[in-house]
Amino acid sequence: MIAVRPLPSLLTLSNAQVAIEALATVAFAYSGLIVAARKRLDAVGVVMVSWLAAFGGGTLRDILLQRRPFFWVEHASWLWALLGLCAAAMLFLRQRHFMLTERALQWPDALGLGLFTAAGTQFALAAGMDGIVAVLMGMVTAVFGGVLRDIVCNDIPRAFSDHQPYASCSFVGAWVVVGCDAADAPDWVGLLAGAGVASALRGLALWRGWRLPRWRPEE
């Protein structure tokens, strides 16, 4: 009988969550930076909008779950990375780069959606929350940074208005995490499966041009 080796210590749930949130934070911060640049905000505005996009959803999740310290306080180096990203973008990003960058950003954003969804759901499950609550926490983590970003920039949040599946992809991915937890699968399996499903659905929606039905009250 072949003995199954335990996972290396580096592949613990805590380390996986940190790595996942770091990758998602970069993707979401860059989305905020592009929006701020399009609005021609000053340096403070660029940093604040990028901060909201990167950390807003996770901060709201931590508030609702009464989790302290906030994840960006616990990993203060991410704040330095955010400042560095904003400074580099303001020095080198120009108007002609916006369209190409925005298109390229859709795929890291899809990855960030899945990663934040899985991490937020897993945090809620670890706190003993019910399945539906954990799913909502995953969606809050993944979606509300972008919502706050758009509100501050005086736009209707894209997650609510562009008719492309976004929050719904997060919803499905979060239930995958909950299902893996209910099946007593290892926590890292739930994280990877939930993130993969949410990101894959978002990627398919972008590739295939899927649209959600819009409400037409005049009909």
pLDDT of residue 99: 57
Q: How far is CA 214 from the centre of its chain?
A: 24
Task: Please give the pLDDT value at position 129.
Answer: 87
Q: Which two tokens stand for residue 5?
A: 């080796």
Pick from 184, 197, 73, 69: nearest CA to 138: 197
CB-based contact 26:81 (threshold 8 Å):
yes
Helices (H), the chain: 13-38, 43-64, 71-74, 77-92, 98-126, 131-152, 158-161, 167-182, 187-208
pLDDT value, residue 6: 45
Q: What is the pLDDT along the chain (219 residues), one digit of tens a residue?
A: 444 344 444 445 556 656 666 777 777 888 788 778 778 888 888 888 888 888 888 888 888 888 888 877 877 788 888 888 888 877 776 655 555 555 656 777 787 788 889 888 988 898 888 889 999 999 998 888 888 888 888 887 777 776 778 888 999 999 999 999 888 888 778 888 898 899 899 888 888 777 776 666 665
Radius of gyration of the chain measured on its C-alpha atoms: 18
Residue whose token pair is 């894959």:
200
> Going by C-beta distance under 8 Å and a sequence separation of 6 or more, which residues neighbour residue 16?
187, 188, 191
Place of tokens 């990375």: 81
pLDDT at 93 (0 to 100): 65
Identify the pLDDT of residue 127.
84
Q: Residues 140-177, buried b or exposed e (16+ Cβ, 10 A)?
A: bbbbbbbbbbbebbeeebbbeeeebbbbbbbbbbbbbb
- Euclidean distance between CA atoms 46 and 40, whole angstroms: 9
Separation between Cα atoms, residue 16 and residue 187, nearest integer Å: 9
pLDDT at 9: 46
DSSP 68: S
Place of tokens 């499905």: 172
Q: Which of 71, 67, 37 is nearest to 54 (CA)?
A: 71
Per-residue pLDDT, 145: 85
